[in-house]
Amino acid sequence: MEVACLQRRFIDLTATIFQQEILDSQFTQLQQLQDESSPNFIHEVVSLFFQEAEKLLNELSKALDQQIVDFKKVDAHVHRLKGSSASIGARRVKDVCIAFRSCCEENNKDGCIQHLQQVNQEYYLVKSNLEDLLKLEKQILASGGSIPTMK
């Protein structure tokens, strides 16, 4: 595919992602931290986020599956997920986590289960968008083009 076309798609995808607040300015910060001395930084950090998030979502699912829910434990996992998503700029995931924690504080099992569903949705949304974005970047670079800088 032509470089210009790829770059166009990259710009459009980035615009959509930020418009919908799937990612926020924290992600832009991270992009700025990637340079020649650390060319794989984004890839590493994103991979780590996926790993951590999926582990936490698993733990949350198990914890909420119990007859008697340990809300402290659930809250600890959500707190962790909130931190990771904030660090990477996954805004919508972070926002759901904040609401999720309120349910934990209220020992509201149904609310927690609902929020777990929501956070799963938001996570997979940000995951697929990030994967598409990074794939486009790779293709652009492979075609000898440069990544358009946003803002």
Partner 1 sequence: MAVATETQFHVLAVDDSLLDRMLIERLLKTSSYQVTTVDSGSKALQILGLQDDQTNSPFVSSDQHDVEVNLIITDYCMPEMTGYDLLKKIKESSSLKDIPVVIMSSENVPSRINRCLEEGAEEFFLKPVQLSDMNRLKPHILKGKYKEQHQQQVLQDDSITSSNKNSNKRKAMDDEISPEMTRPRLTSSLTVL
> Is the Cβ of residue 35 or residue 65 nearer to partner 1 in the bound state?
35
CB of 5: closest distance to partner 1 in angstroms?
32
| Residue of 105, 127, 103 lying closest to 116 (CA atoms) | 103
CB of 97: closest distance to partner 1 in angstroms?
10
> Is the Cβ of residue 11 or residue 86 nearer to partner 1 in the bound state?
86
- 3-state SS, residue 144: coil
SS3 for 32-63 is HHCECCECCHHHHHHHHHHHHHHHHHHHHHHH
CB of 13: closest distance to partner 1 in angstroms?
23
CB of 46: closest distance to partner 1 in angstroms?
10
| Residue of 114, 83, 86 lying closest to 100 (CA atoms) | 114
Enclosing H/E stretch for 90? none
Cβ distance 84 to 52 under 8 Å? yes
Residues within the interface to partner 1 (CB under 8 A): 26, 29-30, 32-33, 35, 37-38, 41, 44-45, 48-49, 52, 79-80, 82-84, 86-89
> Is the Cβ of residue 1 or residue 48 nearer to partner 1 in the bound state?
48
